[in-house]
Amino acid sequence: MLSTWARFFVFIQLLHVISADDLIFTQAVWRHGDRLPTETYPNDPLQEPQWIDLPDKGFQGFGQLTTKGMAQHFIMGQRLRSRYVHDTASPSGTNILSPLYKMHEIYIRSTDVNRTIISAMSNLIGMLNPGRDGLDYPSKTVWPNVSWPQSFIPIAVHTVNYNTDHLANPDADCTRQTLLWKMVTQTDEYKNLSALNQDFLQNISKICGTTINLDNLWTVHDAIFIKKDNNLTNATYLDPWLYANFDKITNLNNIMEDWNNGLNLSLYPDPKINFAVELPRIRGGALLGDIIFHMKTKRDCYINNTSDPKACTWINPLKYYVYSAHDTTLAALFSTFGFKKTAYDEDGYPMYSSTVTFELWKNSTDQTFYVRVWYWPLGLPEEEVTSQIVGCTVNCPLDTFVNRSQTFLPGDNGDAKEWCDYVDDLSPPTPSPSPSSIPADDLIFIQSVWRHGDRLPTETYPNDPLQEPQWIDLPDKGFQGFGQLTTKGMAQHFIMGQRLRSKYVKDNDTASPNGTHILSPLYKMHEMYIRSTDVNRTIISAMSNLIGMLNPGRDGLDYPSTNVWKNVSWPQSFIPIAVHTVNYNTDHLANPDADCTRQSLLWKMVTQTDEYKNLSALNQDFLQNISKICGTTINLDNLWTVHDSIFIKNDNNLTNATYLNPWLYTNFAQITSLNNILEDWNNGLDLSLYPDPKINFSVELPRIRGGALLGDIIFHMKTKRDCYMNQTSDPKACSWINPLKYYVYSAHDTTLAALFSTFGFKKTAYDENGYPMYSSTVTFELWRNSTDQTFYVRVWYWPLGLPEEEVTSQIVGCTVNCPLDTFVNRAQTFLPGDNGDAKEWCDYVDDLNPPTPSPSSMSSSKLESTSLSSGSSSKLDPTSPPSKSSSKLEPTLAIFIAILYFKWIIMKNF
């Protein structure tokens, strides 16, 4: 009989076996083995023929793997075998690979270079059991005349073109990387290092017989290192001075290797470029993304959570994926991990045959997946480095690993080639005289477009427990009614005004303009012009913003003197500044939903698209449930009223059942998702080409909604430039715009989203879904180049609660410091009509001929009529048939609809 302790021990062992996590997938990235130099300097006594002729070495030529390199990878294969290959029939722990080669378990990818391909072959020979005669290679019995290498198993090593291999070759052809490196060479770090070592580099150049600088110093270092490694350091093979100064050469080379991978470089000033992100992303991001893709696919197929059976057919049996590559590959990958050194914890690049393995584990307790990463340096024990990866811990959850890696994945879709071609945000300066001799460029004009601050809903649904009176009656809130700015909204714009002040307002009235600080701290009427939509919340937002932006008013100068007007209780220090408006319903500049027949017909065409019909059909039950709760028909077009109400309640912590239906609150995420889609479509995003007539919504809707404002902004900049250069015949325009430095449009979220759509942005809030948040602002800066007297534009986005960000280079057709003429030309597509007259363009519908909905399509997608007083869409009824006599609406019908529309607009007040 077993003792109690023995039974307990057995129980613990069984428990361990039962609860052991499962390693389900491994990926390896390694550097090739020992090699010859890939090139050398002209005066090197060991050129390629001399290397080949060295006795008893077997050297094959520059860049080729040596026999020593083959042995290094054979040994590394044996080391990997000890962890990943099982010697029995069943896997155990980490030993998931069969001891006998199974093709479906292993996939080997290499750069298209001899030394990496042969390294892969050498590694696999060490990793797998000897081949079986007649099973893994030709039978000697059947093929007696085939002298097959004893026990060698041929395993395919897959390659792609080396110069376009962005996964495993960090130095693949890449315009973006070339420009980034050009910017590095313009940094103070680079210039100072070059200047400090000028004499040293000149001496090296003299010895080598060619100009050696920081960029090509690696060729000298490489040649010396390999000679040392092969005991070829006497004067016959190596200049004594170079040998004596090898440590200094190594130190300089290490710095360059760091900089190549974005380590230890300051932020580039203009445009702001973070090399610690940009260079790792362009050099190692594609490989990191591919590794992640394999792990996610493996996980999804493992738990049957994918709709791609072809991918699962390939990856389900796959257990081991290899990238055979270079020291630069590992260093680039390490830089995406946040490691501070290029060889994990050492300077210099990783040594020959050094390997990184990525393990995907399934937690046996909660069935989740996690990642473990190991580093296997040459000649040293392997070390788990998972917890050293920034954003990870030991047993790093796969989702955590994916999320921490997003920063380093190239572009929106991970396409490295596409990202390499994208350079619009980079503008490396041309090398020129020292900065002190370059006159600063002049900021001469600023325009701002902002959304109003926090407000109440503009309307709501009939069954909402919070109708307008109930909102107003909420204690200690000070709410004024539907659509009105709240005190929180005022504060938001005061703060935004302070932020704008920090960039654009001088510190005192006697100071000269300094960089971007061109506005006087004390209000000067001729410097500013404020335009707002004719809505309370936008007007008061403008006032609130200016209070934050300007210094307190001066008694007797900016407002009535308290000494002279003793009975006038003027608000302390308040400066009254005129805010100009026009009729809201015809304000085509700042109100994208102003009266516009063309936009109504375009939206009617949108509702006839497959996208719209399918979305409506897919969400029919969901919308019906919302309608039942709300007490009115809710469809895709008026869903925004429900979303708006819930959002504002949520923002004011009014989410209990007294104020908000629990089902609506629970399903707010889905409501938001649908609303975001409609907001995208309103601005022409993500819609297919309309078939007949061919209508490109991504041009037509931005043009009709944001084009007039874009044209007005451009008109001001061109007028400012022409008057500045005395190139206009309109003295009246110049007398107004010459002293003008700041022009404002106080408007709406829809205004910003429409403007963004004319920029080619793919999302309605620049880089986020949904409309821009309260008080978010866009500024347009017109600059004069002090060198060539040309003019350029810079555009900044100031989102609520986040730092401002320059977005000039994100505008399609622009670069950083976008020349004004370029900005104008790229905008032409989006300007309404031939002369920019928005009203005239709104009346033009001859090119639109939306088909009459058939009975079947009307029954599936027709929008139910809703009372205008209870809240309807901002569009005319999209199912209204076109006029028989022309493409315009019949006059009587048009007037009737317009009256109803005006009524609704006034009530919506948006």
Q: What are the catalytic residues?
A: 32, 327
- Region for 246 from its dihedrals, namely left if φ exceeds 0, alpha if ψ lies in -120 to 50, beta otherwise: alpha
3-state secondary structure 775-788: CCEEEEEEEECCCC
Confirm if 531 and 450 have CB atoms less than 8 A apart. Answer: no
DSSP per position, 18-62: HH--EEEEEEEEEE---B--S---TT-S--HHHHHHSTT----ST
Q: Which two tokens stand for residue 683?
A: 């601005």
Q: How far apart are CA 820 and CA 426, in angstroms?
A: 17
Residue 618: Cβ within 10 Å count: 11
Distance separating alpha carbons of residues 129 and 153, to the nearest angstrom: 9
Is the separation of the CB atoms in 696 and 689 below 8 Å? yes
Residue (of 128, 126, 150) closest to 137 by Cα position: 150
What is the crossing angle of helices 217-229 and 198-208, to 10°? 60
Residue 327 neighbours by CB under 8 Å, 6+ apart = 31, 349, 350, 351, 354
Query: What sign for the dihedral angle of Cα 539, 540, 546, 552?
Result: positive
DSSP 3-state of 798? strand
Q: Token pair of 835, please?
A: 């002369």
* Contact between residue 797 and residue 773 where contact means Cβ atoms under 8 Å apart: no
Cα separation, 637 vs 875, whole angstroms: 8
165: which 2 tokens?
Answer: 């291999």
Q: Are strands 579-580 and 528-532 parallel, antiparallel or unpaired?
A: parallel
Which residue is it, tokens 């991918």?
311
Which amino acid is residue 603, in one-letter code?
W
CB environment 139-157: b (16+ within 10 A), e (fewer)? eeeeeeeeeeeeeebebeb
Of 217, 276, 209, 277, the C-alpha closest to 250 is 217
CA angle 94, 96, 97 (to 5 degrees): 130
Asked whether the CA dihedral 863, 869, 874, 878 is positive or negative, the reply is positive
